[in-house]
Amino acid sequence: MIDLHCHLLPGIDDGATDLEVSIAMARAAVADGITMTACTPHIMPGVYNNNRTIIEERMAILAARLADEGIDLKLAIGADVHMDVELVSGLKSGRIPSLNDSRYFLFEPPHHVPPPRLEDNIFSIMSAGYVPILTHPERLSWIETHYAMMERLVRMGVIVQITAGSVTGRFGRRVQRWADKMLDEGLVHVVSTDAHNLTGRPPNLSEARDEIAERLGEAESVHMTLTRPQVIIDNLPPERMPALHAVQHAARSGAPKSFLARLGLGWHSRTS
């Protein structure tokens, strides 16, 4: 499995507090079956002023320690990016690292307040050649009033990632209900841990994978934890990703094209 979202690097955001916690999290990830983790600390101006230089320095320290400890976990660079007027320029310059230096990057919207003109801003980002991966929309406090926006974003070509703990109920019933709804309606491409520590937010992906397998089938659970993440890590075009679950189901049932479009049939849901 590939974990695209993990706050593994020590001491630069609200994730791992020190190197020993990072090592313990890495051991837990490997034990869970994770073979690669994207190191994605927050980049949030005024709160977490991280950049490529800081992230690369911490990754090098962690990678050396992992080698010394014999922990077989590959690391990929990335960031959990918040809205910023300099987001696109930061991606272009490399100051803000995308996932494994690909066209894909993690995009975290504000948790409590829907940002104005979000769809317009995302359109501008995508017009610049980048593909946002919207992180944990099921946990947003405003999803109840803006669920239709999630459907529109998927149609635009935004990749949607939910948190493993949301699927397993770690964030409570409300969040789990929204995660289930998005899974059932084919609005989820990827599931990741968003791990911060070993207790409340551990690097556990297999439990969610197994629950998704029971809910949607083994193939889709593999797509969410391995196939689509590998497309992202390899910087392949979005159309190389397997079709979304609801699109596959609708196609098998002979649903009309209008129904497929409503479910989000787009560039990222076509197979090569």
The dihedral sign for the CA sequence 161, 164, 170, 175: positive
DSSP label at 95?
Answer: S
Helix axes 52-69 and 19-31, enclosed angle (nearest 10): 60
The dihedral sign for the CA sequence 212, 159, 269, 152: positive
* pLDDT for the residue 267: 32
Question: What is the CATH number that goes with domain 2-269?
Answer: 3.20.20.140
* pLDDT for the residue 90: 96
* pLDDT for the residue 247: 53
pLDDT per residue as tens digits for the range 103-119? 999 999 999 998 889 99
Start-to-end Cα distance in the chain: 22
Q: Could you give the CA distance from residue 169 to residue 211 in angstroms, rounded to a whole number?
A: 11
User: What's the chain's average pLDDT?
Assistant: 91
Taking CA atoms, 10 is separated from 7, 18, 46, 54, 203, in Å, by 8, 4, 19, 11, 15
Global pTM value: 0.89
* pLDDT for the residue 85: 86
Phi-psi label, residue 129: left if phi above 0, alpha if psi -120 to 50, beta otherwise: left
Cα dihedral 263/267/270/271 (nearest 10): -150
Walk along the chain (272 residues) and give the pLDDT tens digit of each residue. 999 999 999 999 999 999 999 999 999 999 999 999 999 999 998 899 999 999 999 999 999 999 999 999 999 999 999 988 899 999 999 999 999 999 999 999 999 998 889 999 999 999 999 999 999 999 999 999 999 999 999 999 999 999 999 999 999 999 999 999 999 999 999 999 999 999 999 999 999 999 999 999 999 999 999 999 999 999 999 999 999 976 544 444 444 333 333 333 333 332 33
Q: Could you give the CA distance from residue 9 to residue 22 in angstroms, rounded to a whole number?
A: 6
Helix (H/G/I), strand (E/B), else coil: 172: coil
Residue spans per domain, the chain: 2-269
Q: Could you give the CA distance from residue 105 to residue 159 in angstroms, rounded to a whole number?
A: 10
Exposure string over 15-24, b if 16+ CB within 10 A, otherwise e: bbeeeebbbe
* pLDDT for the residue 257: 35
Q: Could you give the CA distance from residue 79 to residue 54 in angstroms, rounded to a whole number?
A: 11
* pLDDT for the residue 246: 66
**The total number of residues written for the chain in this structure:** 272
* pLDDT for the residue 115: 87
Q: Which helix (H) or strand (E) holds 126?
A: helix 118-127
